[in-house]
Structure formats: C-alpha cells, structure tokens
Amino acid sequence: MTAGVRARNESAWLLPNDGTRTNHRLRRDMRRFADDDEVDLVIVGCGAGGSVLAQRLARAGWRVVALDAGPFWDPDTDWVSDEAGSHHLYWTDPRVIAGADPVPLGSNNSGRGVGGSMVHYAGYTPRFHPSDFSTLRDDGVGADWPFGYEELRPYYAAIEQELPVAGEHWPWGDPHGYPHRPHPVGGNGELFLRGAGKLGIEARVGPVAIANGRFGNRPHCIYRGFCLQGCKVNAKASPLITHIPDALAHGAEVRADAMVTRVGMDERTGRASGVHYVRDGASRFQRAAMVAIAGYSIETPRLLLNSASPRYPDGLCNEFDQVGRYLMVQGAPQSAGRFDAEVRMYKAPPPEVSSEEFYETDPAKDYKRGFAVQTVSPLPITWAEHVAAQGHWGRALRDYMSDYVHWACLGSLCEFLPLAGNRVTLADETDCYGLPVARFAYSQCDNDRALLAAAQHVMEDILTAAGADEVITIKRYAHLVGGARMAKDARHGVVDGRCRTFAVPNLYITDGSVLPTQGSANPALTIMAVTARAADHLISGARGGTG
C-alpha cells in the first residue's frame, strides 16, 4: 500500500527525518512565478480543497500558483501545545452574523494559513453515506448531487491512503476498511464504548487521519491531545504535510500572506484572467489561464460577491441569485458526564470513537435524516466554555474546572438541512483591505431542532449507561459547508458536478462551498475527494477551461 501512495504523493517522505518538522530546502527552492507570467492555474486558498488541487495539477505538469491569506506555517516555531496560545491559527477577521439562530464564527469554523482549517481540525475523517447524494429523491428534504457515491468511492480510498486514516472496519454507509489499524483509546473513548455497549448501540474506533505507526518520515501519534491546536508532532494529517510538500516538489508555488481581493475578469470574453491580491501592503495581479477558488464556505461566496463588475453587477456567478445560499452548519450539541473515577479525557486525541447508528432516516421518527455521535474531549479552556454555556459562573464554574479530570464528553453532528435563506451576503462594514465583510444569516428549521433533541437524548443515555452521576449538555454548531453548491444547472447552484462554475468557463470552486448536502459526517475527507475528482477531470483535458 505504502509504495502505491508514495508513487502518487510523496509528501510524507519529503518531510525531514531529523526531528524537525519542515522541509526548509523545499520551500526555499520552490519555483516562483512572476505576476505577469500567465500560469495555467491560480488557486485561492491552500486548505483542504486548494492543496489537493495544487498537488494533483502540479504533478500533471501544470504551472500552478496557490495563494493563501495566512502564513506558511512551520510547526516547530509557529505552533504551541497551548490552547490560549493557538488563537493565531483561526480566521478571526470581522464578520457579521444574523438570523434567528446566528452561528458564532471564529475558532470553531475556519483557519487561516497554508493547510487551512485542517491545521486545527480534530481529525475525524468519515466518508459520506451513499444516501447523502440523493436526500431529495429519497427523503423529500435537502438536495440531490449531480453524481452518486460510486463516483467518489475511488477518491475516498485514495485520500484515505494519503492522509492516512486509522480505524476499525466501518460497517455503516458503504462498508469499508482503513489503511491503518485503530488507535488504542483513552478514558473518554472507553466510556463511550462501555455506555454504547450497554444500550446495544454499535460504536467503533475511528476513523481518524492520525498516523498509527510511522508513515514516511511522519512519526506516530504520541497521544498528547493537542490535535485542535495544530499537531506539532506531524502525526495528524493536514494538507500542510500531506499535499503541499509534493505540490512544491512538482513545481507549484505556494504564495503565503497573499489576500485575494477579487477575481479578475475579461469583461469582453467573460473569462477569468487572474486574481487581484494584496501582499506586503502592495496591490498585485497574478495572471492565469484558469482560476480556482477554495477559500472556505464564508470567504468563497464573499469573494464572488466582491468580484462584481459592470458585466456581473450582482457578483460573479450570481445571475440566478445562488451565491451564498444553502450554507449549512451541523448542529453539534455536546454532552458531558461526570464519573467517580478519573477519566482524564485530555490524554488522547479528541477524535477516538464514533457511532453512525443514527445517521440514516428512520421511518419511525418524525424527522428526516440523522446524526452521528463522537468523542470530543475538550481541553480546559474549551471545557470552561462548555460549563459556562450551561449557565455556571463564579464559584460553581471553579468547582467544575477543579473537577475536570472526572468528566467525559461526547458530541453529535446533526444533519441540518440546506435552506435557501441561510446565506452569505455582503455587510456594510469593511475589513482592513476596505472590502465589505461577509454577513452570514442562519435560522434552523423544525427538522433541525428535532434532530438536536434526539441527539441530546442519545448522548445523555450513553453517558448515564456508562455510569455518569451528572450529565450536562450544551448546544453548539460545527462545520460550515455549502454557499456555492453543485447542481444540475445554473438556476439551482453555482458549479456543475466537476466544480466548474456555470457562469465562467475557466473558473472553478474546489472547497466545502460546493457540497449540496452534508450528511452527519465531518466534511474534510469529502472536500478532498470531491477536489481530487475535479482535478482528474481537469487533467484529462480541460486546461484553460475548454474541456
């Protein structure tokens, strides 16, 4: 297996083998393009989607520049194993939130810098289920994708090998195995397995993109629990270490600290001509034969709207008022249980054990679709946020904090439905570049609320069955996707099944914005698989957007 992966993505072998975490020579010697070189492809954003696209197309011989608004991280010097000290990883630029159920934006949503949000994601990498691709046809809710699960299966398997993913055999959705064996579990995972077992609920270890054993020059996990702060060890996968080194080795340029402000358009031909960006305080323009946007579900629609011009007065690709719509967030309630024995949930990766028993529509219930349950294991500051969100302050908050080592914590991911009114528009406020910031309005529907209640009951039952003497639950959100969704035509979405925008033949979107539904699965693996599929299409003949 390893030889096959190395033949198509050498990233893990390009990292140093001397105890340091960054191949400085590769970065120093990377190919550099001039702004007025017309490269084959310029990519906006080096996260889950952008990095996979850069790696695939650089390997195919394309001249690629990938711009990211944030830094080119060096895990040795830029990351610390400290919750408070890791805030610089997040995209914390101003944004406006609105709607009946506004979604707080910041640390729990998106990252800034090469590697994108996966630098500080937890590391769960489940596949979507086959049913996620046809929820409208089969359940009468959500949307249908322009293609089915089978089209994505080989890309799931390929990315799972490249990350690589560790876990038990997965019985749900399309049953499959993983390239690395499951990790041993800590106290939180053990309690989840115990409680679920008592209730007859199937739960399994994984799937996590954390090396279980050495992988190339990446060391194995040392179970220190700082996955959401950027793994200094390089055991947890993020594109910074899984796709960018190979992209550089094949001639891609990664231009960090470069904030793209608008897509350049040839008003006469209606084709993209490159991107305007700001770097070191200077406004610049990178010429390109093709543009791909991969800036995350908030920034991608914002960039399209900020790219309005006389030919596109309502924003790029927005002729049918689709940009920014159907933005989804998963309902992510979190239940914590107290145990007499010490749990010490920080002594393991937060992602350990999950159950997809409740993922599919159950005809006996009065709601459609479902939810997944996973271990989450907050570190102390996040634990304080959990307790405070329950309404505990002062002395009570201190008591809960002193008792931290006795608590276990589970989280659910509820499949909230895509609704047209949940969308990004432009606010009146502007950012430091003078650009209107994103305004994100979000409201839940009755189905969403029913799912939240059902997930809460299941988590509390599991913790109680495991022996918890007190259980507290808070409501929260996770994982934004959608906002520039795939559809069969321009009246229903922004891109086609291969991520090409309907409006501009040489403009692609390759990030989480294109997902029409979200299932109850964490999205990063699917974003990478969808991008790898789009890359294959480009490689097979669409250079310059003519395919």
Ligand X SMILES: Cc1cc2nc3c(=O)[nH]c(=O)nc-3n(C[C@H](O)[C@H](O)[C@H](O)COP(=O)(O)OP(=O)(O)OC[C@H]3O[C@@H](n4cnc5c(N)ncnc54)[C@H](O)[C@@H]3O)c2cc1C
User: Does residue 243 touch ligand X according to CB under 6 A?
Assistant: no
Phi, psi of 324 (to 5 degrees): 90, -15
Q: Which of 299, 352, 415, 496 binds ligand X (CB under 6 A)?
A: 299
Q: For residue 507, give both structure tokens.
A: 């403009």
User: Does residue 113 touch ligand X according to CB under 6 A?
Assistant: yes
Indicate the DSSP class of residue 92: -
| Residue 26: exposure state from Cβ atoms within 10 A (0-12, 13-18, ≥19) | middle
User: Does residue 233 touch ligand SF4 according to CB under 6 A?
Assistant: yes
Nearer to ligand SF4 by Cβ, of 225 and 337: the residue is 225
Q: Which of 159, 235, 304, 515 binds ligand SF4 (CB under 6 A)?
A: 235
Q: For residue 305, give both structure tokens.
A: 């709207």
Site map 322..361 versus ligand SF4, x via CB under 6 A? ---------------------------x------------
Phi, psi of 296 (to 5 degrees): 90, 160
User: Does residue 435 touch ligand SF4 according to CB under 6 A?
Assistant: no
Q: Distance between CA 474 and CA 6 in Å, rounded?
A: 43
Which of ligand X, ligand SF4, none does residue 116 bind to, with CB < 5 to 8 Å depending on kind?
ligand X
Full strand arrangement of the beta sheet holding 423-430: 96-98, 436-441, 423-430
User: Does residue 72 touch ligand SF4 according to CB under 6 A?
Assistant: no
Q: For the chain, how many residues are written?
A: 547
Cβ atoms of residues 419 and 443 within 8 Å: yes
Cβ atoms of residues 334 and 411 within 8 Å: yes
Determine the straight-line distance between the first and last CA of the chain, rounded to whole angstroms: 33
The window from 119-127, 159-167, 180-188, 409-417 that contacts ligand X (CB under 6 A) reads 119-127
Question: How far is residue 378 from each of residues 205, 228, 348, 350, measured CA to CA in Å?
Answer: 18, 9, 11, 7
Q: Which of 48, 96, 143, 221 binds ligand SF4 (CB under 6 A)?
A: 221
Helix (H) or strand (E) holding 478: strand 477-481
Nearer to ligand X by Cβ, of 11 and 217: the residue is 11
Q: Which of 5, 12, 210, 294 binds ligand X (CB under 6 A)?
A: 294
Alpha helices in 106-186 (DSSP H): 135-139, 149-162
We find the least distance from the C-beta atom of residue 464 to ligand X, in angstroms, to be 26
Nearer to ligand X by Cβ, of 463 and 524: the residue is 524
Q: Which of 77, 150, 214, 222 binds ligand SF4 (CB under 6 A)?
A: 222
Give the footprint of ligand X on residues 195-234 (CB under 6 A).
Answer: 228
Q: Name the E strands within 204-352.
A: 204-205, 253-255, 259-266, 271-279, 282-287, 291-293, 328-331, 334-338
Q: Distance between CA 288 and CA 126 in Å, rounded?
A: 35
Nearer to ligand X by Cβ, of 228 and 328: the residue is 228
User: Does residue 85 touch ligand SF4 according to CB under 6 A?
Assistant: no
We find the least distance from the C-beta atom of residue 88 to ligand SF4, in angstroms, to be 17
User: Does residue 121 touch ligand X according to CB under 6 A?
Assistant: yes
- Reported as half-sphere exposure (CB side, CA atoms, 13 A), residue 350 has a value of 24
Angle at 221 between CA 216 and CA 226, to 5 degrees: 125
User: Does residue 396 touch ligand SF4 according to CB under 6 A?
Assistant: no
We find the least distance from the C-beta atom of residue 399 to ligand X, in angstroms, to be 27
For ligand SF4 (CB under 6 A), the number of binding residues is 13
User: Does residue 522 touch ligand X according to CB under 6 A?
Assistant: yes
Q: Which of 21, 63, 120, 368 binds ligand X (CB under 6 A)?
A: 120
We find the least distance from the C-beta atom of residue 171 to ligand SF4, in angstroms, to be 25
**Single-letter amino acid, residue 536:** D
User: Does residue 223 touch ligand SF4 according to CB under 6 A?
Assistant: yes
Which of ligand X, ligand SF4, none does residue 66 bind to, with CB < 5 to 8 Å depending on kind?
none
Contact positions vs ligand X (CB under 6 A): 44-50, 67-70, 108-113, 116-118, 120-125, 228, 259-260, 294-296, 299, 303, 351, 479, 511-512, 522-525, 527
Contact positions vs ligand SF4 (CB under 6 A): 210, 221-227, 231, 233, 235-236, 349
